[in-house]
Structure 1
C-alpha cells in the first residue's frame, strides 16, 4: 500500500510474491502436497468525473455497489464535497497518512446530507486513494491537479516498540477492572481507558488444556460504567460462566469468579487462541471500545511435538481501531444517535439516525494497544496469533514483501494442514494462527498491513491501513519446523437435515425505526428462539439476507464448518470455528454436538453495533 500521492491503494503484485508462494508450495509438494496455496483475485475497474467544483456522490445502495463517482478530479483551486443519498452513514477517508499518522482527510457524512472536504485545499498535485471506513468495499480515487506545493502522504515511522501483554499462568487469577491511563499514541498524554488490571489489552492468560482455571473479575470502574459481564470467546464452559448479557452481572464494587475447565466432553480442549471481553447487553460496543479486552491461550503438547515456534517467537497480536480527540482522549461515538427501546418484548431502534448506526470504526488501527509499532525479530521462524478485536472493521492481513502467511490454525485449534495465504481476511472476533519465516532476511524491514479485500465484490470490504513493522536482526538458532500435516481433533459427523436456520437482516422502516434482526426479530433476553437437546448433533444454516456483511458468532460449542454456499469450505475453514463471515446472500452450514452443559447461550453478529442494536438470539441447551 503506497502512502503518498500517485500510489494506488491496490497492492502491487511483484515477482517476489510468486517466488515466496512457489517456495512454500514446493516445500509442501516435496513433503507430499500437504500445503495448500490460496491465490488472490483481481479487483474491478471504475469510472470518473472531474471539474473545479466536484462532488463525490453516494446513492442509495452504494454500501454494496461502491461510490457512484469513484474517480474525481479537482483542478486548480477547486473544491470537493460529498453528498450522501443513501440510508446509511458513510465516510470519505484518505488512505495516505500525514506525518502524525492521521489520514489526510476523513469526513463523516450522515445520510441525507452534504459535507465539504476542506483538507483537499492543502493537498499537493497527485493521486490519492480514498474509501469508506464503515463500508471499505467503497473505494475511490481523487486526482488533484494544481500548481505549487502542498501536503502529501508519508510512510509511517513505526517508532513505538510493540508491547507484548504480560502473561498470567496461575490456576486462580484475579483481574481488577479499573480506569487507567495507558500509552497508545507515540506522543502526547496517555489515554484514559477502562482496563483489565490497568493495561490494554489486559494480561494474556496462558493455561494448559484440561487444567481447571478460575478467574475472578472485580468491577472497580467509574460509577457511570454500570454492571459488567465477561465472555471468554471461543471456550466451552457452563452457561453461568459464559458472560450472559443480562444475568450474572458484576455490579460496581462487586466481583464474580468464572470457572473455565478447559475441557470438552471430559477431554482436554485442543490448543486454542481465545479472548475475553465485555458482553453486557446494549453496551458491548461501548465497553469494548473503552478497553475491556484481553487474550487467552490454551496450550497443549502439540506445539512441542510439532516443533512450532515458542517463547518470544510465539507472539499474540490484537488488532483494533480507535479514534481520538484532543489530549489523546478516546472519541465517544456513543454519546448521541438513535436509541434502542423495548415494545411488547421486542427491541426497536428509533431516533434521528435510524436505521442503526452501521459501524463504530476508528481512524487509528492499533496493534496490542499501540499505534504503528515495530518488533525486532531474529532471522528465524515466528508464530503470530492474530486477533481482530475491532467492533466493526475487517482486515485483510498481508506482508509488504509479498511473502505468504502460513496459516496453521484458527482460534479454536489447528487445521488439518498448513495453508499458504498471500492475504488473510479476519472480521471482528475472528482469529488465525500463522507462521512467518524470516530466514535469510537479515537487515530488512517487513510491514504487516491491511489491504483491500479481493475475494468478493458483494461483501463489505476490509480496511486499508499500515499495522506494524518487523525489523529483522541477525540470524539465530531456530529449532522450529514448518509441519506438513497437523493433528486435528475429530470433527463431528453432521446429520443431512438442517435443524435450524438463522436469518440475519435489517427489519423495519428506516424512517420510523428499525433493528438488526435474526429471523425477523430483535433480541429479547427472555425469549428462547431455539432449544437443542444435550448430547445431540445439530446442523444449523446461517443465511445473510441483508445488504452488508455480518460476522456471526455462536457460543457454547466448538463448531465444524460444513459448507459455504453449498460448496466444501475453503482449506482455512476445515478446522473448528466459532465465528463466520457472511457476505450478502451468503449461506454457511455448521454443526456441533451439544456437550456437557445445559442452559442459555447466544448467537449474534460480532459487529458489536449490530449485536447491541438487536442482532442477537438466545438458544437453550436442554436435558
Structure 2
C-alpha cells in the first residue's frame, strides 16, 4: 500500500483553538495596570492534543477551571484519543470519559459537577498521556469513591484427565456484585473456562464442541504457549469448528522428546478477524503444566497456588457486555492486500473496558493466611497493560514466566504485563494479619517502560492469622535449558508498523504487509536454530507472540535482557523504536504457524504473519 495519508484538522478547528487559547490568555491574570475583573479562577479551559500527541501528551497537561466550568479538548492529532478520569463512581465507571476523534473537538462531560480538587485523567488508548483538571471555587459536588471489593474471588474448576471435553455455549455468569448475571460465550458455562492442569509429558486430548448461538460463526481454539502440531495450533482460517460440530486437539506436552517444562499457558479463540470479539465475549481459560516434584524446591501448593486471569470489560446498565465491535471498521481488498476503513480503522481500533475483572469477577477479594502464596498472573485483556503492585509496597518474588521457571528468582516492586504475558510470582503475606492489601496497577514515570500501564485497583487480599507454611523462598531454580549455541546471524527480521493509504484504508502490518493466510512470509528448517529480530516502526507499543516453539530472549536494544526475561518466553513487549532478538530450535513439527501482535484489534486488522516449518 502506498500514498501515505496524514489526516489533518480543518481550518475552522485551528481558528477555534487559537481563539480559545487567546481567551484563556486574556483571563489568565492581572494586566500591566493592575488586577483585571477576572481575578476569580478561570471558569473554562481548553486542552489541545497536537500532532504526535501519543508521544507529546496533552497541552497543557494541567488546567484549572472554576466550579461549574467546562473543559474543551481539541484533537489536532491523526489519532483518536480519550480524556478519562482515573477516579471512579460507585459503580466502578470513570467519573468522566470522552472519546475525541482525530480532527475534532469535544467537551469533557461531567466536569461541571465535580467537587473542588485535583482530578487526574489519561487517554485509554495511550495511557502514557496523563493530565490533571484542577477544580476551584466550588462547595460540594461529585466526589470520587474508593473501589469496593464486594465479591469473593472464584478460582475456576480444575480438569486433570487425559481426555477433556469443553462445550462452547452461551451462559449467564456472575461478573458484577449486584444485579443480573452477564450473558457470555463460555467454555463449559463459566468465564474463565475450567483450568486444565496436567503433568508435562502426559499427553492430553481436548475436544471443543461449538454450541454457540446462531451468528457466532466458526471458532478456533489456540493453546497459547504450548508446543504441538500445526493442525492442533488453533489456525485462524483452517481446521475451524463450525457451529454444531466439534474438534479434538492433541497436546502431547512433549518438546524434542522431553516432557514439557512446568508452564502457565492459556487457551482462547483465535478466529481470523474475530479474535477480539470472541475473546471479549468470554472464550478464554487457563492451562497449567506441572513439573514432577523436585527435591529441595518447596513452592506454595494447593490453595496457596492461585491462577489469576486479569482482563477487562464494559457493561450496560443491565450488566450486559457492551458491543465495541458493532461499528467496527470495514475490510477492503486491493491487489490482494487487505486494509480497513471507517471510524475505528487502524490506528484507532483499541478495545478497552471500564472494569477490570479477575477470574471473571469485578473487584474481588481473596481471604489469605499470613503465609506465602504463589500467584500465577495472566493478562488476558485485548489491549491494556498492567504494572502490578501491592498497596503496602511489599515485593513480588518472580520465579517464572508463562513458559517455565527462571534460572534465578528476581525480587520486583512491580510486574509489568501486556496482553497475553504471564508471570509466576510468590508473595509473602507474613506480618500483614488484619490488613487488606490491594493488588493494583500503576503507570511508571513518564518516558519509562510501563508508563502506558493502566492505573486501577484490581483485587484485594484480606490477610488472616499466620499458619503453618512448609514453603521456602527459592534463589536458584530448576529452569528449562535454553537453546545454545545461537547463530550470530539474524535469519529473519519482523518489522511491526502501520500502513495508511489515501485511497484504500489502513492496516497494522508486519514487514509492510497485512496478513494473508495463503502467503508464507518465512520458512524455517526443522531441527535448526534460528535467530529472529523484531523491530517496531510505529508510534505505539506492540506485544509480539510467536507460535510453535518456546524462545530464548537474546538482546533487547543490543543489551542483555533484564533478569525476568532470561527464561523461556513466547510474548515480548516491543516499544516504539525498540529491537528485540530471540532464538529457538524448530523441532518435532512442520507446517504453518503464526507470529502476531497480541493486542487483539491489531491482530484482527492485519498485524499477523505466517511462517512455515519445513523439512
Query: What is the TM-score of this pair, normalised by structure 1?
Result: 0.90
- 2-side partners of 1:146 and 1:76: how far apart? 5
Say how many residue pairs are matched.
575
Counterpart of 1:194? 185
Pairing of 1:39-438 with structure 2 (within 5 A): 51-302=42-293, 305-438=296-429
Contact 1:272 1:299 in 2 (8 A): yes
Question: How large is the RMSD of aligned CA atoms in angstroms?
Answer: 1.4
- 2-side partners of 1:157 and 1:353: how far apart? 33
- 1-side partners of 2:296 and 2:320: how far apart? 46
Counterpart of 2:509? 517
Quickly say closer, same or farther: Cα 1:303–1:390, change in 2 above 3 A. farther
SS in 2 for 1:540: strand
Mean Cα displacement is larger for which, 303-312 or 432-441? Answer: 303-312
- 2-side partners of 1:456 and 1:432: how far apart? 24
Q: Choose from 498, 509, 534 the match for 1:506.
A: 498
Which has the higher relative contact order, 1 or 2, with Cα contacts under 8 A spaced 6 or more apart? 1
Quickly say closer, same or farther: Cα 1:144–1:368, change in 2 above 3 A. same
SS in 2 for 1:140: strand
Contact 2:443 2:451 in 1 (8 A): no
1:160: how far off?
0.9
Deviations 1:269-311 (A, max 9, x none): 1100000000000000000000000000000125675110000
Counterpart of 1:579? 571
Counterpart of 2:21? none
1:394: how far off?
0.3
Deviations 1:539-571 (A, max 9, x none): 000000111000000000000000000000000
- 1-side partners of 2:393 and 2:94: how far apart? 24
- 2-side partners of 1:416 and 1:66: how far apart? 39
- 2-side partners of 1:597 and 1:129: how far apart? 51
Q: Choose from 440, 456, 479 the match for 2:431.
A: 440
1:78: how far off?
1.4
Q: Which has the larger radius of gyration?
A: 2
Mean Cα displacement is larger for which, 137-146 or 356-365? Answer: 356-365
1:343: how far off?
2.6
- 2-side partners of 1:433 and 1:539: how far apart? 26
Counterpart of 1:534? 526
Contact 2:67 2:115 in 1 (8 A): no
Contact 1:271 1:302 in 2 (8 A): no
Counterpart of 1:600? 592
Counterpart of 2:543? 551
- 2-side partners of 1:67 and 1:304: how far apart? 55
**Gaps in structure 2 of 5+ consecutive residues:** 1-27, 29-40
Mean Cα displacement is larger for which, 184-193 or 502-511? Answer: 502-511
**Gaps in structure 1 of 5+ consecutive residues:** 1-48
1:610: how far off?
0.4
Q: Choose from 583, 594, 604 the match for 1:612.
A: 604
- 1-side partners of 2:179 and 2:296: how far apart? 46
Deviations 1:335-361 (A, max 9, x none): 013212233322111234443433100
Deviations 1:475-534 (A, max 9, x none): 110000001110111111210000000000001236751100000000000000000000
Deviations 1:118-168 (A, max 9, x none): 211111000111111111101001101022101111211211100111111
Pairing of 1:487-502 with structure 2 (within 5 A): 487-493=478-484, 494-502=486-494
- 1-side partners of 2:293 and 2:510: how far apart? 38
1:372: how far off?
0.6
Contact 2:443 2:450 in 1 (8 A): no
1:459: how far off?
7.1
Query: What is the TM-score of this pair, normalised by structure 2?
Result: 0.92
1:115: how far off?
1.7
